[in-house]
Amino acid sequence: MKQLSLYIHVPFCTRRCSYCSFYHVPAEKSREEAFTGALLDEMRFALDDLGERFELRTVFVGGGTPTVLGDACWTRIVETIAPFFPAGGPAEFTVEMNPEDVEPARVAFLRGLGVNRASLGVQSMHPVGQKVLKRCAPEVNARAIEIVRGSFDNVSFDVLLGVPKTTPADLDATLRTLLAQQPRHLSVYGLEPGGDMSHEVERFFEAVDPDRVADEYLRVCETLRAGGFRHYEVSNFARPGFESLHNRTYWDGGDYLGVGPAAHSALGGRRFWNEPSLDAYLRRSGREHLAARVRDDAGGGAIERVMLALRTDRGAPAEWLDAARVGEFAAGGFVEMRDGRVFSTERGFLILNDLVLRLAEPAATNEPTC
């Protein structure tokens, strides 16, 4: 039976963090039910549109802030997708959790729905850093970590690099605190501008030092490797056996369906995405959701294939790349060759976009599609 991954985008947030350029809207209880109804509408038709038997190997609910949704909305969502679960449930069912929303009863409720992996947006354990990021106090993070660790064996923490008004020593302290909680997984992101940035977000990034971000990235890589974590993707580290199965689907070029405003999908070589507008999303019904998808004709080519391969520790087959340029970048310490494959080094991850373009250019010219 065909395996499929499902991503659900919940656009609501109680506030905008300083650095955030992802699509979201202010949380409003009055709109949650309308959103949930539209989401279920899209899911039913999108899943039916696949036209073949399949099961949901992984589910990932992100946003936005999924944990702002009420229990009734969560129940309706899971009841809609449960018929597509394999026996025993999905191999991985992840929910992004905002530390401020984490309460014992709430976590137990999600666990009872079949959620088996928690991704907690910690970001920093430094009080000044959290204030700069417009995140909760470290004490709130600590309480959320304790609650989540008590209910889930598979827990991931998000950490940000280059936070203004903090120091590398502050980051080291954050890592020590988090590692003491024995997480299975960490996602470590360098603060960098991108996406649809507001003027406020643009001003925030004026205070971010890219060189410091790069230095902290290399320090974190060293610390986590020494701590027994596998650096399996440019921004992700896991204890062996706890790599994110859902995100692997993206990086391995597998099929995934995204539902909700701004969600992206890749199915059978077709790529499309939903408009980042909750208002437009709520106006649609039935197959209108499918008709409104925006085709993404830019993805799926040879350059993307190389990019996805080089961002993981599986690397890319050497025959995909220009041998002379591979030699040049290997001499500079940006890539390594082993057993006929090319791997990015941690220094290479810092220049990954340029690295991919330089190495894949001949492949893109000679082989425009995967």
What is the model's pTM? 0.93
Confidence of residue 44 (pLDDT cuts 50, 70, 90): very high
Domain end: 187, 220, 250, which one?
250
Rounded to an integer, the average pLDDT of 236-245 is 97
Domain end: 250, 284, 319, which one?
250
Residues 245 and 306 in one domain: no
Residues 232 and 325 in one domain: no
Which pLDDT score is estimated for 301?
A: 78
Q: In the chain, where does DSSP find H-type helix?
A: 29-49, 71-81, 104-112, 127-133, 138-151, 168-179, 199-205, 210-226, 245-251, 278-283, 288-291, 302-310, 323-331, 346-350, 352-366
Does position 53 have pLDDT exceeding 90, yes or no?
no
- Decide if 277 is inside a domain: no
Residues 6 or more apart in contact with residue 224 via CB below 8 angstroms: 175, 186, 188, 231, 237
Residues 28 and 123 in one domain: yes
- Decide if 198 is inside a domain: yes
Confidence of residue 324 (pLDDT cuts 50, 70, 90): very high
- Decide if 282 is inside a domain: no
Cα angle for residues 252, 238, 145 (degrees, 5° grid): 125
Task: Kindly report the CATH number assigned to the domain that includes residue 178.
Answer: 3.20.20.70
Residues 6 or more apart in contact with residue 363 via CB below 8 angstroms: 302, 303, 306, 320, 321, 322
Domain end: 188, 220, 250, which one?
250
The DSSP result for 83-146, as a single string, is: GGSPTTS-SEEEEEE-GGG--HHHHHHHHHTT--EEEEEEE-S-HHHHHHHT---HHHHHHHHH
Select the highest-mean-pLDDT range: 51-60, 101-110, 262-271: 101-110
Confidence of residue 298 (pLDDT cuts 50, 70, 90): low
Which pLDDT score is estimated for 365?
A: 44
Instruction: Give the Å distances, CA to CA, from 116 to 80, 249, 337, 340.
Output: 18, 18, 37, 37
Residues 155 and 60 in one domain: yes
* Rounded-to-integer distance, Cα 271 and Cα 207, Å: 36
Rounded to an integer, the average pLDDT of 17-24 is 87
- Decide if 224 is inside a domain: yes
- Decide if 201 is inside a domain: yes
Residues 15 and 152 in one domain: yes
Residues 64 and 171 in one domain: yes
Query: Residues 153, 162: contact at Cβ < 8 Å?
Result: no
Residues 40 and 161 in one domain: yes
Rounded to an integer, the average pLDDT of 305-317 is 94
Confidence of residue 299 (pLDDT cuts 50, 70, 90): low
Based on the structure, what is the number of domains in the chain? Answer: 2
Does position 364 have pLDDT exceeding 90, yes or no?
no
Residues 231 and 309 in one domain: no
Which pLDDT score is estimated for 192?
A: 85
Q: What percent of the chain has pLDDT over 90?
A: 83
Structure-model confidence comparison of residues 256 and 1, the more confident one: 256
What letter would DSSP give residue 62? E
pLDDT tens-digit map of 114-154:
999 999 999 999 999 999 999 999 999 999 999 999 999 99
Confidence of residue 275 (pLDDT cuts 50, 70, 90): very high
- Decide if 285 is inside a domain: no
What's the token pair of residue 165?
């008004």
Burial class (CB in 10 A: 0-12, 13-18, 19+), 21: middle
Residues 111 and 240 in one domain: yes
If one counts every other C-beta atom within 10 angstroms of the C-beta of residue 237, the result is 26
- Decide if 27 is inside a domain: yes
Give 294's strand partners: 273
Residue with tokens 């991850």: 349
Residue with tokens 């106090």: 137
If one counts every other C-beta atom within 10 angstroms of the C-beta of residue 314, the result is 15
Which pLDDT score is estimated for 20?
A: 86
> What amino acid is encoded at 171 in this protein?
L
Determine the structural domain holding residue 50 and report its residue range: 2-250
Task: Return the H-helix or E-strand segment holding 3.
Answer: strand 2-10
- Decide if 288 is inside a domain: no
Residues 197 and 308 in one domain: no
Confidence of residue 212 (pLDDT cuts 50, 70, 90): very high
Query: Residues 158, 122: contact at Cβ < 8 Å?
Result: yes
Confidence of residue 312 (pLDDT cuts 50, 70, 90): very high
Query: Residues 102, 152: contact at Cβ < 8 Å?
Result: no
Q: What percent of the chain has pLDDT over 70?
A: 96
Does position 288 have pLDDT exceeding 90, yes or no?
yes
Residues 211 and 342 in one domain: no
Residues 18 and 137 in one domain: yes
